[in-house]
Amino acid sequence: MRIFLTGATGFIGAAIVPELINAGHHVIGMTRSDAGAQALIDAGAEVHRGTLEDPESLRSGAANADAVIHTAFDHDFSRFVENCEKDKRAIAALGSVLAGSDRPLIITSGTGMGSGEHGQLASEDVFNVSHPNPRIASELAGNALLEAGVNVSVVRLPQVHNPFKQGLISPLVAIAREKGVSAFLGDGRNRWPAGHLSDVARLYRLAIEKRQQGARYHAVGEEGISSREIAEALGRGLNLPVVSISPDEAASHFGWMAMFVGLDMPASSVQTQTRLDWHPTGPTLIADLNEARYV
């Protein structure tokens, strides 16, 4: 297939490109920069110039493809609500040129959308339409396209990691350096799910090949790692003391990350593994944190 990939030079997208090419697909990767274009050429992909802010560039890329994978997202969390709405508009633009065909579109969301309430194990067959996370806008946009007959499916992401980057855990490294301690909130029992980058890239490929309209997949290799375990791994790597922070101190210590650090959001991938014959084999999150270079 000719697959249009947004976010093709990002952390996850750059891993999806060789996964697709090695499976015999032709990748059309979207980028806004010359450096990104050269990286795509070097990887064997076709270059498409575009941005999330330019819906016409999204539509023209999707119109020229047999399938679309949308991983691009603006990760400026100081403007998180605004960026979630921007993603909603981007999904609508991509879907607008796929209506009336069976060409599949995969959008990206978070595993939290599959949890009925705080601390409940998230599953693929749940979509919590009242979830407070603004990222719900992405799945609502996908639902609107489903109702219009577009072949949409969703990959929900946990903390995606390798030894160089670990989702929302990477900002915690900077905070720990600045504060001189590696901190967790309260008793540190709240859990975050995780998935290794290589497993996540393979899941996107299997999902686009499956072409299952309305499917939701969880890219989860580990259902939940406690925030205390994560803080302890960072403390070892940074040679910093590990401390507990009270909820009252969260905002002053963690800044914008305070909205995330106390979340208990375990997630299952049992249904995903069965439906796609996908079985995570990559290193664990703690193994990657232990291998990370904190210099």
Whole-number Å distance between alpha carbons of 250 and 257: 9
Residue holding tokens 């090949």? 209
pLDDT at 294: 82
pLDDT at 130: 82
Q: Residue 109 in contact with residue 155, Cβ under 8 Å? A: yes
User: How would you classify residue 17: left for phi > 0, otherwise alpha for psi between -120 and 50, otherwise beta?
Assistant: alpha
pLDDT score recorded for residue 224: 97
| DSSP three-state, residue 135 | coil
Instruction: Give the domains, in start order, of the chain with CATH numbers.
Output: 2-160+194-222 (3.40.50.720), 162-193+223-266+283-291 (3.90.25)
Predicted local distance difference test score (pLDDT) of residue 77: 81
Whole-angstrom CA distances from 4 to 1, 28, 101, 183 are 9, 5, 15, 40
Looking at residue 62, its pLDDT comes to 97
Q: What is the pLDDT along the chain (295 residues), one digit of tens a residue?
A: 999 999 999 999 999 999 999 999 999 999 999 999 999 999 999 999 999 999 999 999 999 999 999 999 998 888 889 999 999 999 999 999 999 899 999 999 999 999 988 789 999 999 988 888 899 999 999 999 999 999 999 999 999 999 999 999 999 999 999 999 999 999 999 999 999 999 999 999 999 999 999 999 999 999 999 999 999 999 999 999 999 999 999 999 999 999 899 999 999 999 999 999 999 999 999 999 999 988 7
CA–CA gap between residue 5 and residue 40 (Å, rounded): 11
Q: Which are the contacts of 164, defined by CB distance < 8 A and separation ≥ 6?
A: 292, 293
Residue 31 pLDDT: 97
What per-residue confidence (pLDDT) applies to 78?
Answer: 80
CB 269 within 8 A of CB 121: no
Q: Is 119 helix (H, G, I), strand (E, B) or coil?
A: coil
Residue 133 is predicted with a pLDDT of: 86
Q: For tokens 């595993």, what's the residue?
A: 111
